Amino acid sequence: MECVPPAKAGLSCGTGRKTGYGKSPSQTVKSTSALVDAKIASLSDGLGEILSRIRALIHEADAEVVEEMKWQKPSNPSGVPVWSHGGILCTGETYRDKVKLTFAKGAALPDPSGLFNASLDGNVRRAIDIRDGDAIDGEALKALIRAAIDLNESRHGK
């Protein structure tokens, strides 16, 4: 039996979780952007600036990238910023001393600038740990974002 969630309730089938279903795309974008804004504002100055800069570079790389907050839990009630285009590109996890930008399919991406410096042993993901005071190579990061988009699109036959 097919489940069609009621648009007014905005619930997913069988889970009772809110999905944004029934909202216009602009409402969803505004609300998720506000959640990412709140996450950035909640961080110490250095980490907030890092996450804000990463976010800006991601959107400069491709204006169609979708951002949202996922994986809320008691130890991280605001969740994790996630950027997607044809699938997850990367996440911006925050820790006490760093922002970890994890690329969902990083092991399959070219990294000629050597940005990846964490999670190097895995078969799928790769990450960039960025600490307060670290320089961010904006052009190299944007190239990595574009490569991740290309990879997602190639896997979807676009």
- CATH number of the domain at 25-155, out of 3.40.50.2000, 3.40.50.300, 3.40.250.10, 3.90.1150.200? 3.90.1150.200
The CA distance from 23 to 10, in Å, is 8
DSSP class of 10? T
**H-assigned helices in 43-137:** 45-61
Task: Identify the CA nearest to 32 among candidates 71, 64, 66, 77.
Answer: 66
Q: Domain boundaries in the chain?
A: 25-155
Q: pLDDT tens-digit profile of 64-115?
A: 999 999 998 898 888 899 999 999 999 999 999 999 999 999 999 999 999 9
Q: pLDDT tens-digit profile of 16-55?
A: 334 443 444 444 444 678 888 889 888 887 999 999 999 9
Question: pTM of the prediction?
Answer: 0.78
